Structure 1
Amino acid sequence: MKALNEMNNTERAYILAKMFPEHLEELVKFIKSEIEHFKEKEEAVRKAWAKDFMATAGYWYMLVDNAEITVRRFNVSLHKSPRIFADQFFFSQNGVFAIHCLIRFAGSGLASYKMHLAIELLFGDEQVTTLEFKSKEDENTK
């Protein structure tokens, strides 16, 4: 096996999926919920997106769309096959959104303690993006 610092995201995701195959279905459901969340809040997210962030909101939503296409195309295969899960969600740029989902899953309280530790070891614990929404009242008090 390669050293951790020599692995790419797909290889790390495959190891995670092989270690916790019983949690893949739950993880895929969480990714679906993240997709739905971003789709429902798209207008607000685009408005709140930091202009100086290294990626654009358009790029982020391309990743969300790619994940949604992956879920539709591979459906149950994503949680039945660790290889398909890793190859489809974590290949190339798609890994950015998938890693975001993994880290959010680890911090959500839904992941077992061991899975939480494995995600943190393999992918870290820093979220890809966080957005702060301000209410009209907040803006008026400045």
Structure 2
Amino acid sequence: MKALPELTNTMKGRLLFELFPDEMPALLDHLAAVCADFRTNHEEYKKNWRDGFMSFDYWFSLSEECAALLKKHGHTMRKNSKVFSDQLFYGYTALFVNDRIVKYAAHSASKKFKQAVELLYT
């Protein structure tokens, strides 16, 4: 195994899945719900967007890409760490997914999952 600073987004996603496979269905459901909420409340989010890191339109496009991946591969992602990591953590979509994982973990009942996410993503 590589040292933590040498892990790519894809490697981190796969490791997280393999350490916490039982957490993945709820995480994927959370991602789908957030993407749906962004689509439903697009104008409200855009009006209140204050993140100087990137424009809301770009963030929204990452959300839409994530939603499309979930729709296409969601069933397989729940069972397969390679599909989960290769689809969600390759390219710029990983920015959106990583952000949502950190926010999801903050409210997770699993202390170990929270710690793993903090180690990998913060």
Deviations 1:16-48 (A, max 9, x none): 001011111111111111112212221011111
Give 2:27's aligned amino acid: L
* Runs (5+) with no aligned partner, structure 1: 125-142
Q: Greater Rg, structure 1 or structure 2?
A: 1
- Name the count of aligned residue pairs: 122
List, as ranges, runs of 4+ consecutive aligned residues in structure 1 with deviation greater than 2 Å.
none
Tell me the alpha carbon deviations over residues 48-95 of structure 1, each in whole angstroms, 9 at most, x when there is no partner.
123x71311111011001001001111210111011111111111010
Secondary structure of the residue that 2:78 maps to in structure 1? helix
User: Contact 2:17 / 2:24 at 8 angstroms: preserved in 1?
Assistant: yes
Aligned-pair identity (%)? 27
Aligned to 1:75: 74
Matching of residues 57-68 of structure 1 within 5 Å? 57-68=56-67
TM-score (norm. length: structure 1):
0.81
Counterparts of 1:1-142 in structure 2, within 5 Å, are 1-50=1-50, 53-108=52-107, 110-124=108-122
Mapped to 2, the partners of 1:114 and 1:54 lie a distance apart of: 30
Taking structure 2 as the reference length, the TM-score comes to 0.94
Question: Is contact 1:78–1:85 with CA below 8 Å preserved after alignment?
Answer: yes
d(CA) in 2 for partners of 1:13 and 1:86?
A: 5
Q: For 1:81 and 1:101, how far apart are their aligned partners in 2?
A: 20
User: Which runs of no fewer than 5 residues in structure 2 stay unpaired?
Assistant: none
Structure 2 CA distance, aligned partners of 1:96 and 1:111? 24
Tell me, what secondary structure is at the counterpart of 2:47?
helix
Whichever structure has more helix as a proportion of its residues is 2
The answer to whether the 8 A contact 2:9-2:89 is kept is yes
Q: What SS is found at the alignment partner of 1:76?
A: helix
